[in-house]
Amino acid sequence: MGDDGLDVAGSVRDGAGAIEFLERESVDVVLMDIGLPDRSGLAVARDILERWPDTKVLAVTALDDPRAADDAMRMGFAGYVTKDTSVERFTASVRAVMEGQVVLPRRLVSGGRQVDMSDGFALLVDQLTPREHEVLALLVQGADGGEIARRLGISRNTVRTHVQSILTKLQVHSRLEAATLAVRHRLVPIPYPGSPDDAAVG
């Protein structure tokens, strides 16, 4: 266990090594470089998320590009940080991902602009009720069912009903996927705690 309370389980050089390592070891978060020597880090992450859906993948890359960040979030990454991020903010980002939050530098949230949505996806979003938008906003912040119930003054069962409705309407399979979509398409207000370019989104 390091001084920051995080335990590094291991390090590998390429995508094949990552898959082989995860076949032997269980980890909470995988730090994935987008540019691997054998194949795209995006493709490796897709394989990891399909085989180990409870494992979160955080992109750590030199690409300071909103389009690359969008691609990563669309593939199911829990977040995206650049290699020039300070140690303190990097550690905070890893902790945020472990707590279920979506992590993305403010400057890379679609370049600070609204993402164009296809007509089909816009129709899906239009199905969300005002209360479901509130629940979705709290999912982006990493809130669990109990916290959502407390903050909205509703029961846990009602929270579960709203969450299931959100997943069904957005045609996704998990809370993380819903939160990722919300960040990518800016469906809900996104808080930026700390510095103006803080890496933790919600």
In this structure, the answer to whether residues 59 and 158 fall within a common structural domain is no
Q: Are residues 107 and 197 in the same domain?
A: yes
Counting the structural domains of the chain, the total is: 2
For the segment 188-195, the average pLDDT, to the nearest whole number, is 52
pLDDT of residue 3: 53
The residue with greater pLDDT, 175 or 132, is: 132
pLDDT value for 116: 46
- DSSP 3-state assignment of 102? strand
Closest Cα partner for 77 from 107, 128, 38, 42?
Answer: 42
Mean pLDDT value of segment 153-182: 87
Residue 70's domain comprises: 15-112+192-201
Average pLDDT, the chain: 80
Q: CA 110 to CA 66: how far, in whole Å? A: 5
User: How confident is the model over 37-78, as pLDDT tens digits?
Assistant: 888 888 899 899 889 988 999 998 888 877 788 778 778 888
Burial (0-12, 13-18, 19+ Cβ within 10 Å), 32: buried
Residues 25, 85, single domain; the answer is yes
**pLDDT reported for residue 194:** 41
Q: Can you give the pLDDT at residue 21?
A: 94
Q: What confidence score (pLDDT) does residue 113 get?
A: 40
- For residues 202 and 192, give the distance between their C-alpha atoms in angstroms, rounded to a whole number: 7
pLDDT at 201 over 50: no
Confidence at residue 190, expressed as pLDDT on a 0 to 100 scale: 57
Task: Dig out the tokens for 110 from the structure.
Answer: 């679609």
Counting residues of the chain whose pLDDT is more than 70, the rounded percentage is 83
Name the band, by pLDDT with cuts 50, 70 and 90, for residue 98. confident
Residue found under tokens 């959502």: 148
Q: In CATH, what number is assigned to the domain containing residue 29?
A: 3.40.50.2300
What is the length of the chain? 202
Q: Looking at residue 195, what is its pLDDT?
A: 41
pLDDT tens for 104-157 read 776 766 544 444 455 566 777 888 898 998 999 888 887 888 999 999 999 999
Q: Phi then psi for 72, rounded to 5 degrees?
A: -65, -45
Q: Answer yes or no: is pLDDT of 101 > 50.
A: yes
Token code pair at residue 167: 């997943």
In this structure, is residue 10 part of a structural domain? no
The answer to whether residue 5 sits within a structural domain is no
